[in-house]
Amino acid sequence: MSDSNTCYLVVNLGLRSNRVIAFDADGTKLDEASEQIETRVSAARVEQDPDEW
């Protein structure tokens, strides 16, 4: 038997989107969300606006 209050979050911070998936203690997916983000690439660096996260 598992604790019904336990929740695990998987967070994927990518170049084109950020994604979060929530699982319960048994491994059942509870919910997920994804948001597209802009990535700016120049010769010297790659930037994202943290306010978009």
Predicted local confidence at residue 50, as pLDDT: 84
Predicted local confidence at residue 14, as pLDDT: 87
Render pLDDT for 1-53 as a digit per residue (tens, 0 to 9).
Answer: 456 789 999 999 888 899 999 999 999 999 999 999 999 999 999 898 888 87
What are the structural domain ranges in the chain? 7-52
Predicted local confidence at residue 2, as pLDDT: 56
**Owner of token pair 């930037």:** 47
Q: Are residues 20 and 35 in contact, defined by beta-carbon separation less than 8 angstroms?
A: no
Distance CA 8, CA 18 (A): 17
Quote the pTM value. Answer: 0.69
Closest by CA to 10, choosing from 2, 21, 25, is 21
Q: Are residues 19 and 29 in contact, defined by beta-carbon separation less than 8 angstroms?
A: no
